[in-house]
Structures are given as C-alpha cells and as structure tokens.
Amino acid sequence: MSDAVETPRTHFIRQIIEADLASGRCSRVVTRFPPEPNGYLHIGHAKSIVLNFGLAESFGGLCNLRFDDTNPHKENIEYVEAIKRDVRWLGYDWGDRLYFASDYFEQLYQFALELIEKGLAYVCDLSVEEIRAYRGTLTKPGRNSPWRERSVEENLDLFKRMRAGEFPDGSRTLRAKIDMASPNINLRDPVLYRIKRGVIHHQTGNAWCLYPTYDYTHPISDALEGVTHSLCTLEFEDHRPLYDWVIEHVSVPSRPRQYEFSRLNLEYTVMSKRRLTELVEEGYVKGWDDPRLPTLAGLRRRGYTPESIRAFCERIGVTRADNRVEMAMLESAIREDLEAKAPRRLAVLYPLRVTLIDYPEGASEWLELPNHPKDPAQGTRLVPFGRTLYIDRRDFAEHPPKGFKRLVPGGEVRLRGAYVIRAEEMIKDETGAIVELRCTLDLNTLGKDPEGRKVKGVIQWVSAEHAIPAEIRLYDRLFKVPMPGAKGDWRADLNADSLKVIAESLVEPSLKTVEPGARFQFEREGYFVVDPDSTPERPVFNLSVGLRDTWGRQS
C-alpha cells in the first residue's frame, strides 16, 4: 500500500452496472453528483463524488454535476462556487455538463400539467398542518383530502394561477394522486409543488413563485439528462417507489434507476450540513475551511491531498451496511501519501537555547541534508549550523523518565544531519526553569557515530542566527466523543482544546519563501502544510497529521 492511487474495488453497484451493460439495458453509463448548494461539501460527499465520477470514468461513461436547487431559502451562489471548486480539486471534470435542477423548472411544470391532465395530480387547499394530520402514521392509513376529486379543468386552472402568483404561500399545493392508504407514507399523495412568493432564487431570480419538491424534481432531472444509474444514500430507499412512479407517469425521454448505498459517518466529527452550518455560524470554528472541519475546504487547509481523500474513499468501499469509520483510517491515508511526497525539514516547536561552548565563536557552516531519507531524487538542501542553536525543550530532561533516549545532563545525543553533542551544564532562571544548555560537540562525528560509543537519540535543531520565527497550529479532534450529540446537545461534546497555537516556534531558513498549500514533514513532529495566513515575515503551518500510524495496529 505504498501508492495512494488505489485500484477501484468491486462492489454491488459496480456489479449492477456490469450486468446492465452486458444485458444491454444501457450502452453507456451516465451518473450524476447532485449537491444542494446549501453548504460546503464534506468528506461524506467525497464518497459520493468518488463513486459517481469514478464509476463513469472506469466504464467510459459520463458524470454530470447537477445542483439540486429547489429550495431557494437556504441556498446561495457562494455555496455553488465552493462546491465546483471542491469537486475540481478532488480531480474530477464534469466537462460541459454543469446543470441546475432550476434549468428544468419549465419542463417540470409542463410535466405537472401532464399529470393533472392524466388525473394523477390535483391542487389541494389543505394547510401544511392539515396535510400532516390527514397523512396518517406508519400504523394508520391516511385520509383522502377533500380536494382530491377536483376536475381536471379546475386543477389546470388553479395550478396555472398558482404559477401566476395569485395565491399566498401555504394556501395551496399540487399533490400527486397515488394512494392515501399505501403502507409507504411517501406514496400518500406527496406534495409536488409549493408556493413561495417573493423569494429570489440564485439562478432564476423572481421568475418563479412555485417550487417543485425534491422527490418530484430528482427523477425528472435524471431522466432529462439521460442518467442511467442514480446513486443516493439509504435514507432515500423509501422514496424509490415515488421515484419510479414519477418516471412511469410523465413522458420523460429515458428511464433512470435509483440505487442506494450507506452514508459515510466518521467518528469524532459531525457531517450533516445543518450541524456544520451551526458550527460555522455560532463561531465554534473559524469558517467553512477551518482545518478542524470534515469539509473538503477544511481538509484541504489541513493539508490533505486529493489523492489521499480518493484513496480513503476507495478503501471504505460501497455497501448498504450502516457504518462509522475511524478517524485513524482517514489519517492513515494522508500519512501514507505524504510519507512519500513531503520533503523533510527541521522545525523546533518549543525552543530551548543551546550554546556549543567549544565551537568557534562567530563561526558557522552549511550542512547538506537530504530532502527525503529514502528518495535521493528529492535532492538535498543546505542548513546552517553555528555556535548557538535551539533544540526542542521536550528533548531535554533533567530527571529523565525510564527509557528516555534524548538529551540528559552529561549525556549525548545526535543532532539530525550534524554532530553529536553532550550536555555539560544547565542554566536556570530565578524560577528554576531551564533557559539554556551549555554543551560540547565532537567535530569528528559529522555523519558518523563516535569511536566505541553508540548514540541512540537523534533530535531536530535550528541555528539561532538563521532560524525563522513561525506560528504553528496544532489540531486535535473537534469533539471529545466518537458520536457527538448521541447523548443530548452536540455542543456539550465539543473538545475545548481542539486548536493549540504555538506562537514562538522556529524553523530552518529554507522555509522562508513557502507558498500556502506547500507540505513538509517536520522531522520527528509530523506533516505540516503552509496556511494561507502565512506571510514572508511569519510563516504559519498547520499540523496535518502526526507521524505515528495507529490505524490497523490496535488489534
């Protein structure tokens, strides 16, 4: 598993498509990814994107990007643009097939007239509450609306006047005439159209005051686009009979079929757009691209590569079983990708001053360090060395715990890519805190261990004269529990320490001119990415993931 690009695994949907191609039900696969532009995409959407675009790709078919924009209250153009950016970033191309369900409003309206003419839809004057009361329950059949037997003429007249804006919001709906006693509640005369006057739609402006429901819009949009396999998550399983009913009763040009798979759930985070919107709007995070969020914009800012997300989506597979995936599995995918790609650098998160008392005063030298220990093709860089250095304060222990392999009083440690040093003396301030180490170094140890001694510990360092101050942002899980909100309000499960900012870190000078998005491994610390908040004076790095892989190692 060294390459992050996975060979697609087979699964039940892939098998259905293979059978459909073999039997001739379709000659070319057409799928679609149908986001509603009411929030940013998250890693769950990535599963659906990888599935839809990936299937089209591997069968030589097409995948459309279609915005499911029938609910203008919650939608806006910022979300449309963010979604397009994220799909492109993941590496997928919808070509010239960018669609909006709102492109079909006129055709959807004409199909509604067709249903009315066939006696299969009627204008109903019940209020939302009355419709709910008439609907019945899982155990009790519903009751027919008193408006169910209106004549075709009256229905046509009223529906046209609904479109013309003659009636207030909530006064009337158009409903399918199916079966109020159906065991499937979705078939109990579902609403097809609602009146929403005075809202401005991000695509159609004020052209419409009548908006179709998702259940009516989706199958027709699929059929108009020639979608062969309409893939959605399991909560739509009970809607499938309605999907099929719509396709059967209007004269659409093709017959798509719906298949459901289970949603991706990730531990220690939330994924519904409603929750994510609350996290953003209530200020628990700094925006939709906060690196703690499971949004694609957040994961990108956190340093995830598109390749690692696609590999993760392939690995979790596609089934109909409920599941909750461990965060460690996602982390493992990015670690694996960056292990091969990310150049190594030296950074000291918590600096402790070190003076090399036997190194000549005012002298310095540039040492050549490899960018990658296993990949000589990534070349080398020069790192300055001098009499005053900083090491990480966690790499020195006055009273070392058992097994401590780094620097201790009188002990030796190797500086990565440089010399072996020995701690001779600690300088403490008035509070007793260690503020400086005075060390000696052995000039004969550059790149080799001293005669007769084996030095176990290797630590990172920077030259005091040359190092650049940097801000380092360490992230932890956004929630304290695997299933936030399972026991009451999800807000109570937030992890108060999910972001830790280290303002006084130091990094090697080659990191002075880095671009946002550049990724590195800080030796012995983890993988870091340059944040867009960076300036040349003060680079800012986000922790993508630590070095230690826990995925698959526990059991």
Structure tokens at 327: 């965060």
- Assess 142 for contact with ligand ATP (CB under 6 A): no
Q: At what angle do helices 327-341 and 306-316 cross, to 10 degrees?
A: 140
Which residues, 35 to 74, sit near Mg ion by CB under 5 A? 36
Residue 292 interacting entry, from Mg ion, ligand ATP, none, C-beta within 5 to 8 Å by type: none
d(CA 479, CA 489): 12
CA of 520: how far to CAs of 299, 371, 541, in Å? Answer: 16, 10, 9
Structure tokens at 550: 């826990």
d(CA 57, CA 54): 5
Give least dist CB 149 to ligand ATP, A: 35
Report whether 296 contacts 309 (CB < 8 A).
Answer: yes
Give least dist CB 52 to ligand ATP, A: 8
3-state secondary structure of 452: coil
- Assess 539 for contact with ligand ATP (CB under 6 A): no
Segment contacting ligand ATP by CB under 6 A, of 114-122, 187-195, 269-277, 421-429: 269-277
- Assess 267 for contact with ligand ATP (CB under 6 A): no
d(CA 243, CA 194): 18
Query: How far is Cα of residue 75 from the mean position of the Cα atoms in its chain?
Result: 19
3-state secondary structure of 550: coil
Give least dist CB 83 to Mg ion, A: 13
Binding residues for ligand ATP, rule CB under 6 A, total: 15
Structure tokens at 147: 């408006």
- Assess 201 for contact with ligand ATP (CB under 6 A): no
Any idea how long the chain is? 555
- 329/502 with CB nearer ligand ATP: 329
| DSSP per position, 72-125 | TTT--HHHHHHHHHHHHHHT---TT-EEEGGGGHHHHHHHHHHHHHTT-EEEE-
Report whether 242 contacts 190 (CB < 8 A).
Answer: yes
- Assess 285 for contact with ligand ATP (CB under 6 A): no
Which candidate in 196, 263, 320, 393 is catalytic?
263
Give least dist CB 550 to ligand ATP, A: 23
Sheet containing strand 210-212, strands side by side:
121-124, 173-176, 191-195, 210-212
Residue 431 burial (C-beta neighbours within 10 Å; 0-12, 13-18, 19+): exposed
Segment contacting ligand ATP by CB under 6 A, of 271-279, 298-306, 413-421, 497-505: 271-279
Residue 204 interacting entry, from ligand ATP, Mg ion, none, C-beta within 5 to 8 Å by type: none
- Assess 345 for contact with ligand ATP (CB under 6 A): no
- Assess 229 for contact with ligand ATP (CB under 6 A): no
Buried b (16+ CB within 10 A) or exposed e, 357-383: eebeeeeeeebebebbeeeeebeebeb
- Assess 273 for contact with ligand ATP (CB under 6 A): yes
CA angle 514, 547, 345 (to 5 degrees): 30
- Assess 303 for contact with ligand ATP (CB under 6 A): no
Task: Tell me how far apart the terminal alpha carbons of the chain are, to the nearest angstrom.
Answer: 19
Segment contacting Mg ion by CB under 5 A, of 31-39, 297-305, 316-324, 399-407: 31-39
273 is catalytic: yes
Which candidate in 36, 57, 114, 465 is catalytic?
36
Which candidate in 175, 273, 341, 524 is catalytic?
273
Report whether 333 contacts 551 (CB < 8 A).
Answer: no
Give least dist CB 162 to ligand ATP, A: 26
263 is catalytic: yes
- Assess 232 for contact with ligand ATP (CB under 6 A): yes
Give the contact letters, 40-59, x = binds to ligand ATP (CB under 6 A), - = no.
----xx-xx-----------
Residue 264 interacting entry, from Mg ion, ligand ATP, none, C-beta within 5 to 8 Å by type: ligand ATP
Residue 273 interacting entry, from Mg ion, ligand ATP, none, C-beta within 5 to 8 Å by type: ligand ATP
Residue closest to ligand ATP when measured from CB atoms? 44
- 203/233 with CB nearer ligand ATP: 233
- 100/520 with CB nearer ligand ATP: 100
Residue 183 burial (C-beta neighbours within 10 Å; 0-12, 13-18, 19+): exposed
Report whether 92 contacts 49 (CB < 8 A).
Answer: yes
Segment contacting Mg ion by CB under 5 A, of 30-38, 231-239, 297-305, 534-542: 30-38
Give least dist CB 288 to ligand ATP, A: 13
Among 6, 8, 14, 36, interactor with ligand ATP by CB under 6 A: 36
Give least dist CB 86 to ligand ATP, A: 12
Which residues are catalytic, by number? 36, 263, 273
Q: Interface residues with ligand ATP (CB under 6 A)?
A: 34-36, 44-45, 47-48, 68, 232-233, 263-264, 271-273
